[in-house]
Chains A and B, each alone.
Chain A
Amino acid sequence: SQQGEEDPQALSIQEGENATMNCSYKTSINNLQWYRQNSGRGLVHLILIRSNEREKHSGRLRVTLDTSKKSSSLLITASRAADTASYFCATAVLTGANNLFFGTGTRLTVIP
């Protein structure tokens, strides 16, 4: 079974609006990462937040992490049509190889 679950499964917004995606996970983690995937192609790493961090920014991206609730959120501000993609959270656990456990993803559509 997959570690994370994203919510919502799909999101449609107008260009310029903000998009918020949520991720919940099940076990203790080293870090949580967000990836983007265009049309079933390769994954692009967006941002990483460590378990001892609560918030992180990168350009138009803002990620929060609440380890007590085992949840994270990704905020994309001032969205653009080019942001249309699937977004996945992935967790790296404390033991074993540094493999990633992915959620099922949020499909974001930004309407021009």
Chain B
Amino acid sequence: ETGVTQSPTHLIKTRGQQVTLRCSSQSGHNTVSWYQQALGQGPQFIFQYYREEENGRGNFPPRFSGLQFPNYSSELNVNALELDDSALYLCASSYWGGETQYFGPGTRLLVL
């Protein structure tokens, strides 16, 4: 197991609502990346945070936003939820510039 934790494990929301997902990085890691994994697909990069700033973003709209805190933990916020946002959301931590990312167990979001 990695030292990356995520909460909650499961979540059900309705279309139009907002959701916040949380991630605690592995001890010593200062970079957090978020990925979305739709059913039957590989993970897709949402964005990465380093030094509390967004550092790189994938092809996701602005209603996907994030935060990183001084202790390197992170939040992913999604506004105006759509049905297609139903997915497993994974966070991964690493050292800045590190080649390997360590993934948490994920949060499964269902939008009805």
Contact = CB atoms under 8 A, between A and B. Distances in A.
Interface in A1-26: 2, 4
Given A96-B56, A98-B97, A98-B99, A40 B48 contact: no
B104 A42 contact: yes
Interface residues of B, number: 33
A92 interface: yes
Given A40-B88, A96-B56, A99-B56, A45 B100 contact: yes
Nearest to A30: B99
Contacts of A35: 103
B29 interface: no
Given A40-B108, A42-B104, A43-B90, A31 B99 contact: yes
10 contacts: A2-B42, A2-B44, A41-B105, A41-B106, A42-B103, A92-B99, A96-B56, A97-B48, A98-B94, A99-B58
Interface of B: 2, 4, 31, 33, 35, 37, 39-45, 48, 50, 55-56, 58, 88, 90, 92, 94, 97-106, 108
